[in-house]
Structure 1
Amino acid sequence: MIDKTVAKAAKNVVESGEGVARNIWLAGLGLYSRTLEEAQQINDKTNTAFDELVERGKEVEVQAKECIGKNAEKATDEVEAGMNDLFYRLSGVDREKLDRMDDKIDKLTSAVEKLAEVE
């Protein structure tokens, strides 16, 4: 009788162990499945957030280019004005006056060349 009881107890332990092992296996599969779903959700959210950031970046890029363009024009004008001022202080000749004189010289040169061709 003791042999039957021991055998029955052993059988219960084995069946119980199999049930626990199966439950552990199933819990592991469930964890894997949940983790995979959550990773996919995070990936989808990340892609969506990235796409939104790209769109915002495009909007900001346009504004930044406009701002940089305005500042570059202003800086160029300021540098040119500074150079003209420095040129005037060093030479005593106004840059605009020099440009007008240069235009007149070009006209005179072409007039002289035309006269030379006639002769």
Structure 2
Amino acid sequence: MRPEILNPLFAEVTALKGVGAGLAKPLERLGLRRVVDVAFHLPTGFIDREPRDELMQADVGRTIVIKLTAMNYRFGSSARAPARVQAVDAFGNYVSLVFFRANSGWVKKLLPLNEARWVSGRLDQYGQELQ
């Protein structure tokens, strides 16, 4: 027999404030039926979204947040070709932003030329070019 003070941990998840039948269903699919299951459902990692001032080779392969200024658009000849935006950071380092299956009007609205915008995404290197 467990101590009575632990009984709330073994209650259904719907006993938690803000968890109703609608939220209990997806939690059930994750195997989270009781409050104790939710308490021990720990994160497996995190994404560091600390803003950067400069594009650095050390950040290749990581998700970064940086303020970039769009300088040029390059759209493919077909609708299936990726849209590319040439941009620079505050120190003049170039990067290509690649959008797959993107509408050219949407890209131009999202990143107007010569205006700084915060961008978040994975920094990769293709040849000598940062993307």
TM-score in same-fold range (> 0.5): no
- Normalised-by-shorter TM-score class: under 0.3
- TM-score norm. by structure 1 comes to 0.22
Bigger proportion of residues as helix? 1
Larger radius of gyration: 1
Higher strand share goes to which structure? 2
Instruction: Please report the TM-score for the alignment, with normalisation by the length of structure 2.
Output: 0.20
